[in-house]
Structure 1
Amino acid sequence: KRKEKKKMQEKKRKEKKMQEKKRKEKKMQEKKRKEKKMQEKKRKEKKMQEKKRKEKKMQEKKRKEKKRKKKKK
């Protein structure tokens, strides 16, 4: 009888350990997911800034062209 009790306790202990492990893994995945999201966000922001920068450059170019044309006339 004592052996059975011990076995049961052992089983419970192992199960607890397993659950703990699963919980930690879940947490880890959550963390990774959030990190990925964050990186995605950063990447998009960078892209946006790049776009704005290019647009600004383009406008600058157009402005200069206009000035040049005026000078020619």
Structure 2
Amino acid sequence: MTPPPRSAIRPSLTVDIVQKQDQPTGRLTRGVVAQLLTRSPTHPHGIKVRLTSGQVGRVQAVVGPAGED
């Protein structure tokens, strides 16, 4: 599975991220994007974002607009 490019991610989208401590297990965390932290258009491990909850991780999948779980 290829992580989505930066152009597909924007604030207020619901996404699944993998946090640094969860990288070995691949455990995903779902949340709403507050801020994009990676400037490049793509990254092999996913675009790094900060969620509204304050958690930081790399986007593995875009779920949809906020509120659609």
TM, length-normalised to structure 2? 0.14
- Structure showing greater relative contact order (alpha-carbon pairs closer than 8 Å, 6 or more residues apart): 2
Q: Which has the higher helix share?
A: 1
Q: Which has the higher strand share?
A: 2
